[in-house]
A and B are shown apart, each in its own frame.
Chain A
Amino acid sequence: MARSRKKGLDDKIEDLNLVPIMNLVVCLIPMVLLGTALVKVGVINVNAPNFGMGKSSNENEDEKKPLNLTVMIGEKGIMIKASVPLNAIIKPTDGVEVSESGINIKEVEPFRMHDIEVGKNETVKKPFYHFNFPVLYSLMAQIKDGVKDQYPNETVIKLAVDSNIPVKHVIEAMDSIRFRLEKDTYVKDTEFKEASVKYEEVDGKRRAVPLWPDVMFAAKAQ
């Protein structure tokens, strides 16, 4: 004891032994890293659906006849309806049927069965839907421009979805109709998927240019 103390005084510069702390930190970092979710989580705001008999979220009923723009997503494709005739607004596009009652975007390739991996060496046949979202977006942009004189402040869009459509396609549809993208029309799927949202400056704040940002789920008549 005495000798070591003497030695310590002699050497003067004695480094702090950081090795135990180091050990601790090295153990803690992987632990915390594993704990942190690497996926960045975001949210999409949606208004509660207006279920006929249920409590309604739509408190401020408009005096004017609302636009009632509705997008229906089903196994056969996408239908768009509104209280104004849409055939006057829409430019003819491939794969789109425009009639008095509404617009019908046909599914380009009807949904196919795909092998989806479930566990090891086990696959399950599941449908994968190919919806024509680029065209949906282009039509939504056209409708927005077409009705902006009649309904300048309209932002609500109703979304009616068929029972067996997976949630991911509902989210995908919402992504295609809520904000304006760099271009007004997209033809190629890949180009559409990589396109980013358009931004504008409002009162010095940078925000995404809205298209139909207030999505509301419509309860389909069962």
Chain B
Amino acid sequence: MAEQREKTRDEIIADWVQGEKVKQRAGRKKRRMVDGEATVTINSLMDAMTIILIFLLMNYSMDPLRVDSSKDLKLPISNTELLPKKTIALTISAKSIILDGEPVCEVKNGAISKMDKGGDENSMLIQPLLTKLQAAAANQKEIDTRMNQKFEGMITFIAHDDTPYSLLRDVMYTATNADFKKFKFAVSKGGRRGYQAPGGKAKEGLF
């Protein structure tokens, strides 16, 4: 401690002078930079970013139908121009059936298990789905009567493009039984229609 104090006593003034000099130099440099305006202005970038952010947020919130495509849920391509409406959404992916974000039953190899069909494989009625759909329909009817609207029975199917028609038919049949009459199919707007054979094996001018 004593050694340290001695040392500082000796050098304190020199150090202080040195420090002041450095500070002065830095200050001079800074002032010079301000004079020459050599700083990067990020204001314009900020403007652009804010506009992009607002635009994205608007898009994000205005979508009435949100589809998160994945390997198990790829929408079929179509050239339709109708826009989706806010309705009850029923997703048929390669692995499960989901009603408004809530999983209802499992799908295996494009079919519903025998148990979910009430023990009869040939039955078109999917029991758990029927219960959920009836509840959803009752709920929607309640909302519609409060809002003085007519219950339209509209439902949007978001179906994976490789779903066999038999599964879709069963789901549609179940929906009809739950009082849904107007169906909408969600598709991805590709601006064209039709598919190419996988692996690009389709010949030019096949037909």
Binding site for B on A (CB under 8 A): 11, 15, 18-19, 21-22, 25-26, 28-29, 32-33, 35-37, 39-49, 51, 54-55, 57, 95, 108-109, 112, 114-117, 126, 128, 130, 132-135, 161-172, 174-176, 187-190, 192-194, 196-197, 208, 217, 219, 222
Contact = CB atoms under 8 A, between A and B. Distances in A.
Contact of B76 (A48, A109, A115, A167): A167
Contact of A44 (B34, B56, B67, B78): B78
Interface string B68-83: 1100000111111111
22 contacts: A15-B39, A22-B49, A41-B65, A41-B67, A41-B84, A42-B186, A44-B78, A45-B182, A47-B181, A48-B176, A95-B207, A108-B206, A114-B197, A114-B199, A115-B198, A163-B166, A164-B164, A165-B165, A176-B193, A188-B207, A193-B194, A222-B122
Contacts of B43: 18
B207 A55 contact: no
A33 B56 contact: yes
B188 interface: yes
Given A11-B34, A114-B198, A42 B49 contact: no
Contacts of B13: none
B80 A44 contact: yes
B194 A133 contact: yes
Nearest to B161: A168
Interface residues of B, number: 75
A167 B183 contact: no
B37 to A, nearest CB: 10
A-B pairs with the 6 shortest C-beta distances? Answer: A163-B166, A168-B161, A175-B193, A168-B76, A171-B76, A193-B194
Interface in B113-160: 122, 124, 156, 159-160
B65 to A, nearest CB: 5
A210 to B, nearest CB: 13
B74 to A, nearest CB: 9
Interface stretch (B14-22, B97-105, B167-175): B167-175
B53 A41 contact: no
B67 A217 contact: no
Contacts of B4: none
Given A15-B39, A41-B67, A188-B205, A48 B172 contact: yes
A196 B190 CA distance: 12
B165 A43 contact: no
Contact of B173 (A46, A49, A176, A192): A49
B8 interface: no
